[in-house]
Amino acid sequence: MANITRSPWLLHYDGSSCNGCDIEVLACLTPVYDAERFGIINTGDPMQADIFLITGGVNEQNMPVVKQLYEQMPEPKVVVAVGVCACTGGVFKDCYNIIGGADVAIPVDIYVPGCAARPQAIIDGIVKAVALFQERAQKSEKEVDKVG
């Protein structure tokens, strides 16, 4: 199995958030944190993404969008929820429109807490996601071997 941990491409989707975490996600790509040194690219295209970075909670309106983005991503894929909003609903939890964190719509693998989550924490979350990404790729390969 090839080592595919060196090229995690992100899809960043902003749910029902205050935008704080989104700014932090973008901060990861600036020269100070430079996430590209790990091969991370922020693609806008779900079909080319490996890691789904979601910020903000889920409401009635963005629920189908989140699900569709997740389904459009090719296997193997990993979901990272960034910020307490995406983890549980956070400060907006009791709002009339919020259903909950990202995990009410799609299976979330890594939770990055914080309000807002710091760039260091986000990069750490991505690095954890990358390990899981490799594991999944190996697993699906084994399954293919079993079937074939």
Three-class secondary structure of residue 77 per DSSP: coil
* Per-residue CA distances from 64 to 69, 71, 77, 134 (Å): 9, 10, 18, 28
> How many whole angstroms separate alpha carbon 23 and alpha carbon 29?
10
> How many whole angstroms separate alpha carbon 61 and alpha carbon 83?
20
Q: Does 90 contact ligand SF4 by CB under 6 A?
A: yes
> How many whole angstroms separate alpha carbon 80 and alpha carbon 51?
7
The stretch among 16-24, 30-38, 103-111, 130-138 that binds ligand SF4 (CB under 6 A) is: 16-24
Q: Does 116 contact ligand SF4 by CB under 6 A?
A: yes
The stretch among 33-41, 46-54, 58-66, 85-93 that binds ligand SF4 (CB under 6 A) is: 85-93
Q: Does 64 contact other proteins by CB under 8 A?
A: no
Residues that bind other proteins (CB under 8 A): 1-4, 6-7, 9, 29, 31, 34, 36-39, 41-45, 47-48, 50, 72, 74-76, 137
